[in-house]
Structures are given as C-alpha cells and as structure tokens.
Structure 1
Amino acid sequence: MAETPEGSSRDRFLIAADDQFIESGYDRCTIRAIAARAGTSLASLSRNWSGKQELFTEVFRRHFDPIHVAQNAGFDALEASGEISARAVIATFFGSAMLGEGADVQKSHRIYSLALVDPSDEARVITRQLAEPVRRRVIGLLRQCLPDLNEARFFLAMNVVLGVYIYPLARGERLAGVMGFDLASLDWNEAVGMLADMVCRGIEG
C-alpha cells in the first residue's frame, strides 16, 4: 500500500530532523531548517507534534529504543544464567551501542551518542527520561558485582564506565583524526572486549 501524503511528510520530517541534528546540535536545529530540508511546510510540525521538544522526543526515541531493548535483553540473559560479572555487564552494555553493521545502524548510533552529550538543557531533559531506566539497571548490576567498593569508589567506577561508553561513540572519530588512526580498520567486536577488560582492570583493582 502506498504511503499517504501525510505519512510521507511525517517520515521526511523525522529523517530531516535526524540529519539537521547531526550537523547542528539541538539548540541550532530549527524547525524552519528541518522543514526546508524535508521539503515540507512548517504546518507539518503542528499536525504531528506540539513543538520542537515533542518532535525530538520521538526523534531520539527512534534511536535510543533499539539500543536499550538490546541492552535489556543482554542483561536479562546474564541474570538468567546466574553468572553475572562486572566484565560481562560492561561488555553487554557497550556492545549494544557499539556493534552493528550498515550505514543506517551507524547513523542511528551516532545520533544516540551525540544526543547523550548534547549541551542543551532541553535535550538533556529528553535524553534523561529515555536513558534513565537502562542507566539505573547497569548501575544496579555493577553494584551487585562490586559489593566491596565503598560509595566513593563505586561512584568513581561508574564515571569510568560511562565515560568509556560515551567517548568512543561520540568523539572517537575526532580522536582518530587527531591520532592519524584509521577508524575503519578497527574490529569493534574485539574493541568491545578490550574496552571491557581495560575498564574492569581499573575499577576492580
């Protein structure tokens, strides 16, 4: 069945919002620029969303949800196995966001990571509500795996875990350029394991 004109317009608006966000970030991503990119009128926004924040709640959710579903499925499997370790939790957490083939998946992961580090207060409101359940779960699982760490050390350990999680996703390409490293040569399946090992040596030591 062919898409209705409105459905097509709506989809184009969402895709244009993706691309505009990658280029400009949240605060500089204007509705007018998105509409121009999508080849639709500004009225398309009011027909589908109450405003920019509701639009980007949907934009971000389209990229956050698949990663969070994969992370929760991985955590469920770990809990069902009865053999939970800090390394396994971290590798599951990292892998769901870092692995995946195809331009569409890579673009989706890029939007996810850029959204998490976007400085806009409004963007943070959106991403906090989307990311909070998984963030709480990974913290809870790692607390279970690291019972001997006092509160201060555990807080610092979580800074290490979340920092190593975000930086390769959001800024890895920039760092590769500075270092002259061919990022395309990196085997991300191996990289996830190496990062999990590096983090565990730091937080369990």
Structure 2
Amino acid sequence: MKVLLATRNAKKLGELRRILDATGVDVELVGLDDVPPYPETPETGLTFEENALIKARAGVEATGLPTVADDSGITVDVLNGMPGVFSARWAGRHGDDEANLRLVLGQVADVPDEHLGAAFVCAAALAFPDGREYITHGHLPGRLIREPRGENGFGYDPIFVATGNSRTNAELTSEEKDAISHRGQAMRALAEILGEQLARAGD
C-alpha cells in the first residue's frame, strides 16, 4: 500500500519511516514532493486535530492515496498554552524555527525557572479514500530552558527538556527522540491502525 505523508519536511518523513520500519508495517511512504502538486488547504483550524484532518483530507482528495497528516506544537504553561497551533508561525513567518524559538524565550525571560513548564502536543490523522478517518494523539511534558542546546531535531527541540531527562530534545539521538516524542507516540498509534487495515485488506 502506498501512503502519503502530507509534508515536505524531510525530517518528518524520515521519522515516520523509522517508526513504520520498527513496527513492521509494510507500506510505501511518500511525501508531497513525490506526488503531483496540488493546492494545499490553509490550516485554519483552532485545534491540532482540526488542522491534521484538513491536511489529511486534502491529500486524499488530490491524490486518491490514504493520507497521514499531523499538526503539532509546543504549549507553554505561562503563555496559557500558546504558541499551540501557531507554533510554526509564532514569530510571524511560517517555519522560521530560530525566530519562533527566540520569541518564546523573550516572552518568558522574566519567568522564574520553576514556572517554565511546557509540553509538546501532536494530533495525527489518517484518512482513506473511502471516507474512513482516524485521529491519534501524543503528549510529551517537560520544561523550557534559557538557551538552545543540541544540533538534532527541529523547531523548539533545542530549548525543551522532557520530564525525566537532563538533555534537550535536540541533544537526543533520533532513536531516543522517537521513543518518547509526541509525534512518535501519535505516529506509532497510527502505524498500528495502518497495520490493522492492511491485515483486514489481506483477509
């Protein structure tokens, strides 16, 4: 089965490929750069779930392929759960990781360390051409630090330390991050659903 992951982010593609390989689900995973271009629907949802479904449905409609899409971000306690769904464009321009990260650090500059609780949140959607839809979730609690550390990962990884860890997400290996990450949790749950659907199709 060929499955579309509705992203051009090579790191997300690699991440899901590793998760699928580890779970033994035999699908051919392709990204948006591997299919004919189609107009991408703006992420107008106010929740991670809504945005994930918007992207998954658009992928199915345009390509006819089962489509996986996720929406994820960081929620900071003292910012009332923001940046949230605006994480990728918090500084005003989509995908400017450095600017987003620096803006968050500036906004919590006067907040005592003990109040820098945060969490990574993910909603992942799987949509099939026949209208079946599934949503899974992931949640990784932790805290912010004052200065970025680490070269791996992306987004807010360099300023986030997961509960029980001393290293930032950007200091973890890909395998270590996959094992605990919000996206890893959500994608493993989707991989399980994909495996069940493949098994059912083979019956």
**TM-score when scaled to structure 1?**
0.26
Structure number with greater Rg is 1
Structure with higher strand content: 2
Structure with higher helix content: 1
Task: Pick 1 or 2: higher relative contact order, CA cutoff 8 A, min separation 6.
Answer: 1
**TM-score when scaled to structure 2?**
0.26
